[in-house]
Amino acid sequence: MDIEELVSGYVGYLVDSFDEVWTQVKIPADKLEAFSAIGGLLSRQVTLSIELAQAPSTWNGHSAPLFLRSMTDLYITLAWMMDDLDERPQKYVMHGLGEAKLLIEHYKLLLEKEEYQEDKEELQQMIDFREHWINSQRRDFFVEVDVGTWSNLNCRKMAQEADCEELYNFAYTPFSQVAHSMWPHVSVYNTTRCKNPLHKHHLIPALLEVPLDPDYLYRACKYVDKTYKLFEKHFGASIKQMPLDWWGSFWESVSVEQSEKSDSNDT
């Protein structure tokens, strides 16, 4: 199998299919902000899959789950948000603006500290940029800072309400163990057994190489497929070929090509 052929074909398919999905979404005049939010999330989901595809060295248990955790998190967020486009996207946007406003205040505190005076101009540029970004969407005095979760729910509860609890249990949770460097991941991928029996073969740190596995890219493809199905369900945005159908067709063509080469060699 030619990895370069897989990557170029998959990325090209994603670019075309993203345009095909989004152009079918009709945006009501009274829900512009809501559709900006869900459209941005659609774009990010596809972008994450493209970025993973273009970096085959990350198709392993060390790195790929960092992408996949973001993709499962995004899917749960999007699925929950789509069940109430009147309120939930606005909560998502306003919470994000509030976090940006809070960051500005942190930068302003740095401006008052002597050790940051050399960086004063750079810090002010960061403040000005973020203030402009906030005001382009809301006047900053209308933006409230909320340090809680934007949905007032944890991710598991959102997954339950969005009917994707299995995704939470079997994908989001194990991928979160990688993202947060939890023991179930670290003990497998970052340690090995000590060879000294006097040490009771305890675990010691090790830089382990793990094989590349295209299955990680398949999972990214699957999460894009699930995301497209949300847009098909809510907006009727059907496309000629869904991601998993493309994936199956690609590997079928590879199998046929290898079979033809084998037959040719036999003769």
Same domain, yes or no: 62 and 137: no
Same domain, yes or no: 218 and 257: yes
Same domain, yes or no: 8 and 50: yes
Q: Which residues of 142-165 are buried (b: 16+ CB within 10 A; e: fewer)?
A: ebeeeeeebbeeebeebbebbebb
The range of the structural domain enclosing residue 242 comes to 1-83+212-267
The pLDDT, as a whole number, for residue 266 is 61
The pLDDT, as a whole number, for residue 263 is 61
Same domain, yes or no: 153 and 102: yes
Domain count for the chain: 2
Same domain, yes or no: 45 and 29: yes
Q: Is residue 75 part of a domain?
A: yes
Q: Coil, helix or strand for 205? A: strand
Same domain, yes or no: 123 and 69: no
Same domain, yes or no: 96 and 59: no
Query: Residue 157: pLDDT above 70?
Result: yes
The pLDDT, as a whole number, for residue 220 is 98
Higher pLDDT, 207 or 259: 207
Same domain, yes or no: 77 and 1: yes
Same domain, yes or no: 112 and 141: yes
Q: Coil, helix or strand for 236? A: coil
Q: Is residue 113 part of a domain?
A: yes
Q: Coil, helix or strand for 84? A: coil
Q: Is residue 109 part of a domain?
A: yes
Quote the tokens at residue 87: 């309120």
Q: Which residues of 191-207 are buried (b: 16+ CB within 10 A; e: fewer)?
A: eeeeeeeeeeeeeeeee
Looking at 131, 146, 161, which one is the last position of a domain? Answer: 161
Contact 259/48 with Cβ under 8 angstroms? no
Q: What's this model's pTM, rounded to 2 decimal places?
A: 0.92
Q: Is residue 12 part of a domain?
A: yes
The pLDDT, as a whole number, for residue 265 is 65
Q: What is the pLDDT of residues 94-142, one digit of tens each?
A: 999 999 999 999 999 999 998 888 889 999 999 999 999 999 998 888 8
Q: What is the pLDDT of residues 200-248, one digit of tens each?
A: 889 999 999 999 999 999 999 999 999 999 999 999 999 999 999 999 9
Query: Residue 152: pLDDT above 80?
Result: yes
The residue behind tokens 């749960």 is 76
Same domain, yes or no: 66 and 28: yes
Q: Is residue 205 part of a domain?
A: no
Same domain, yes or no: 77 and 94: no
Query: Residue 2: pLDDT above 70?
Result: yes
The pLDDT, as a whole number, for residue 257 is 77
Q: What is the pLDDT of residues 40-91, one digit of tens each?
A: 999 999 999 999 999 999 999 999 999 999 999 999 999 999 999 999 999 9
- Over residues 236-261, the mean pLDDT reads 90
Same domain, yes or no: 25 and 74: yes
Q: Is residue 156 part of a domain?
A: yes
Q: Is residue 173 part of a domain?
A: no
